[in-house]
Structure 1
Amino acid sequence: MGTQIAGAATLKRLRHRRGWSLADVARGLTHIAANLRHPRLPAVASVQRSVARWESAAPTLPDDRYQLLLAHLYARTPAGQMSVGAGSDLAELLGALLDLGESETRVAALRTALIRTATDTGGMLSLLDPSTQSELSVALADPSRATEETAAGLAAVVADVNSQVGAVPMVRLQLLLAPVLDACRSLQAGPLPDPVAAQVRAVAVAACTLAGRLAFENRDDGASRALYGAATMQAEALGDAWRRAAVHMSHALVTLYSSPDLADARQLVDQAVRAARTGDSVRVRARAHALQAEVAARAGLERQAQAALGLAWYDIADQDDGDPSGSSFSAGHLRGFEGVCELYIGDPARAHDRFAAAAAALVAPREQVQRAIVTTDQALARIRMGEPQSAAELLHECVLAAATTGGRVPAIRLRRARGELRPWRREDFVADLDDHLMDVLGA
């Protein structure tokens, strides 16, 4: 009950801070419902009683409809600007809903819904708290006045956009990220204070890397290559080997999926491994070795693949909570790489089991793109086990996942898996899959 009281107090504090009465909130929710073309709310007096119950000494949790309306209400500042980042009223509201008993999954979905709205109206600024917005405006006019808080605010936007991959369409994420790239370029063109210059450069590395991935996902390979080139230059100037390795790995992955020549991806992976071995991030090093194992396995190089996998497992066992990269690479991810290696140089049945374990571990919203990829590979393993109909059934799930995440990579993997079903193309289960592909992905 203690956390529920805290949640109710937060709702009351948010309302009082804006100078609103209970009736004002009720009228605001009614107005938003009409603008969103939602079913009409009850009379204002009835809505007002609901608002009072949420803030009472024995508070109730707003239902899903009212939660969405409250989120829209507090996602705008009193001046009418969208503000959905850390420190915003929306962030405070979502914390209150958690205290009142709402699930983290539902609260995350609410925030994602408002970020989608922000791409239509507020752009990057909606992910910055108002004070950081003001500091950024000052710094863009005179980079010598940029502060560490300015750089931290930009870094938070990049992290925020990255966390929404798989939940928000890639093209919308590009819209949110583009102003960060412009801000970094403008700030770096001026005389930045020494400690801030390194921070802004680190933001530029992360932003260019993510932008390169998003450009690839949105089928702009030329822009993707240019952005990865910019990220590499920024990382080299910064001098952090693990950042350079991370850039090379991201570039290697999109190259692996878009280029028919494995040599292009292998060159980038080898560069990533060399950089990671001299860097401070154990998780980046583990991921680099895992990717090196996958590329070797795809080339049929069993000994090299197994050696790289062994190094990746050694790295995973050696990791701690102080990893500077903030990477979430884990044993669950590594099992997926093991499955790929088994698929190409080992036993497809073992590969299938590894993919199933990896998919079961990839449950976070941010991991849904990776889960779709792993599940597609699991279907490939079923084909090679002589179970094409079972594989087609699994690929139906992958079609939905590819459509939901909007990722190019899952779609590419899906089409390649469908190609391996060609010997059964006259079977009804393949025709059904083709119909599903055409209906959902148009291919």
Structure 2
Amino acid sequence: MDPEAMRRCMSFGFSDKNSKLAIGQYGNGFKTSSMRLGADAIVFSRHLNNGILTQSIGLLSYTFLMQTQLDRIVVPMVNYEYNTSTSSLDVLNGKEHFMANLELLLRWSPYSSEADLLKQFQNMGSYGTKVVVYNLWFNDEGITELDFDTDPEDIRIAWDVKKITTKPAWRRIQEEHIAKTFRYSLRVYLSILYLRLPKTFQIILRGQAVKPHSIADDLKLVEFVKYTPQCGGGPVEELFVTIGFLKEAPHVNIHGFNVYHKHRLILPFWQVVRYSDSRGRGVVGIMQADFVEPTHDKQDFEKTSLFQKLEARLKSMTWEYWDTHCRLIGYRQEVRPRTPVTQPLPSLQKSLGYHNKRKTDELIDLQKRKKQITTTPADEVVNPETIKLMQENKKLHTECSELEKRGEELNSKVVELRNKIEEAQNDYIRLLAEVQSLDVKEE
């Protein structure tokens, strides 16, 4: 981030909610997430554009605000710009403003000198952002909410692990399934957080890369169902919902849909059905729903009519799939008895003849409508080959976008190198002139 983007990121009352790249409507959730983890956070960001390199450091400190009892929110921030002619960092926004903010940063951060602050940029490259959260919160038992000891390659919430009462032979499978472990394991959660990632993007957790995991790979008897959401301005782009049974079914009591928004997971294993007779058990789905808006914390969607329609359709989709495939994995579909129809007394049949005829006509008409609805749905099962081609098409579009972005970065690098060459040539001319002037003086 450049200094202006850094200011927007850390300032309260501002968000990039209108950005096309924003995941939600309230920005990227930096302030909400960092303050949930700990009382204080310090941010280091380096930005390079058109040969201009800037470095910014900002502090978001609950401890600072509480102990100083300020009547307004203060976010100390310092900015630097690299001077190519002197190969040094120049301070921005004035020396007095810089020194006042630097003093606050050193007093309320874990770093004791300006040199210590600048060391944080050494492994960043030409651009990047580093967030350091400290003074982590404690739970009611006086221990940190985050567990760093159970797994040296993971960060966990140990007290959130729930005991599962299943048959002993399947207890381990149930407890270690991704649908359970993502709730307390950061590594597992990060592995399913994004539906699709650029090849150049990587998440590192405690020194080890996080391997992306596709929930669709955990399914069997997979189908792709077309869904067309009805928005106010008419139908939007057709979506495809991946649905199937978990490979461990029927031995696991897990079900639900994983709903993504702009490739970011919002609702993991969302249970749209409640069952008492196993109807829907083991059915899991994956979909991307960009037509509904997530809440500010990216943990749910706004409860709009569009979202309610989606929930209703996913519920019926779950039951339709389960009724069709349940016998293939060992379940027995329960046949629900029909309500018996009582016949009117003979003495009343004649007097109610016209009324009954009218009711019968209405019933036949209603049944015809129901039949039309069920036989011509807005959704349909799509050939997996078609889905594969569409996914390949989207993948190629994504790769093209990445290549275009890479091309822009390379062009920027070329401009930067040309500027450096020009500066070196100017330095050479200047030094040559100085040498020649010295030679003249000696003569």
Report which of the two has the higher share of helix.
1
| Same-fold status (TM-score > 0.5) | no
Report which of the two has the higher share of strand.
2
TM range (shorter): under 0.3
Higher normalized contact order (CA 8 Å, seq sep 6+, divided by chain length): 2
Q: TM-score, normalised by structure 2?
A: 0.25
Q: TM-score, normalised by structure 1?
A: 0.25
Larger Rg: 2
